[in-house]
Amino acid sequence: MKVISYNVNGIRAAENKGFTQWLFSENPDIICLQELKAMPEQFDISPWQNAGYHVILNSAEKKGYSGVALISKEVPLKITKGIGIEKFDIEGRVIRADFKNFTQISVYIPSGSMGDARQEFKMEFLEAFYQYIQALLKEHPTLIISGDYNICHKPIDINHPELHNNASGFLPEEREWLDRFFALGLTDSFRVFNQEPEQYSWWSYRQRSREKNLGWRIDYHATAGLDNQLKNASILSQVVHSDHCPVVVELA
């Protein structure tokens, strides 16, 4: 089984760069999308459906903002949108799909880079999401949580870490949250297979950052109860529909 997570930074813009053709060439079993920036009526999901995918969308109430999708070949047994807290759920940040043998989540954790108020919102979301996953694992111990976490976990996950100690996305309290999150029994699937530096999934559009590989690894597949089924994980850094690139996990 192949699962892809991809922050497309606007599905309509990504479509104009050939996203759907790329998706079909990759042929994943599941693809989790973040930052759709569109209402369901603003883009056409019929090509995905015609290709045999079941499509779940959770758009933000605010137009042109946030939003996630979960697209799967297998039809979910149950679908849940949001985590049950209105101030977070109106931003369209979580989809959960329960399948026969596992549960899949697509998540778009808020960015705190727009100022103190949004950083506070981010930290509140992180704590609420932690509690949501902690409870969920008791009922669904086989879990894949895929998405844009907007946090670099360790110095290896960011370019020139000494320059970013006070930057949202690499703050000590954010990194400590990821420590606690993984300590719930979750695995950072990419680092099972790749311990190399300079492996990034997002690059600023400024200062030719992607060309210079001045990136951040903020997109993850966190897995639970699946360590013995992990086959491979990779970052598709050459795929360019967005300022992020897709990240992949493959399971037996």
Q: Residue 3: which pLDDT band, with cuts at 50, 70 and 90?
A: very high
Q: Residue 237: which pLDDT band, with cuts at 50, 70 and 90?
A: very high
Q: What pLDDT sits at residue 179? A: 98
State the residue range of the domain holding 25.
2-251
- Nearest residue to 111 (alpha-carbon basis) of 244, 249, 240, 248: 244
> How many folded domains does the chain comprise?
1
Q: Look at the pTM and tell me if it is higher than 0.85.
A: yes
**Percent of the chain, pLDDT > 90?**
100
Q: What pLDDT sits at residue 177? A: 98
In our burial notation (b when 16+ CB lie closer than 10 A, e otherwise), range 45-83 reads: beebeeeebbebbbbbeeeeebbbbbbbeeebeeebbbb
Q: What pLDDT sits at residue 230? A: 98
Please give the single-letter amino acid code of residue 144. Answer: I
Q: Residue 87: which pLDDT band, with cuts at 50, 70 and 90?
A: very high
Q: Residue 78: which pLDDT band, with cuts at 50, 70 and 90?
A: very high
Q: What pLDDT sits at residue 25? A: 98
Q: What pLDDT sits at residue 213? A: 98
Say whether 148 is catalytic.
yes
- Nearest residue to 3 (alpha-carbon basis) of 204, 238, 229: 229
- The CATH number assigned to the domain holding 44 equals 3.60.10.10
pLDDT in tens, 112-170: 999 999 999 999 999 999 999 999 999 999 999 999 999 999 999 999 999 999 999 99
Active-site residue, from 148, 157, 188, 243 = 148
What value does the mean pLDDT take over residues 42-63?
98
Q: DSSP letters of the chain?
A: -EEEEEE-SSHHHHHHTTHHHHHHHH--SEEEEE---S-GGGS--HHHHHTT-EEEEE--SSTTS--EEEEESSPPSEEEES-S-HHHHTT--EEEEE-SS-EEEEEEPPP-TT-HHHHHHHHHHHHHHHHHHHHHHHH--SEEEEEE-----SGGGBSSGGG-TTSTTS-HHHHHHHHHHHTTT-EEHHHHH---SS--SEE-SGGGHHHHT-EE--EEEEEES-GGGEEEEEE-TT--SSSB--EEEEE-
What value does the mean pLDDT take over residues 232-251?
98
Q: Residue 77: which pLDDT band, with cuts at 50, 70 and 90?
A: very high
Q: What pLDDT sits at residue 101? A: 97
Q: What pLDDT sits at residue 82? A: 98
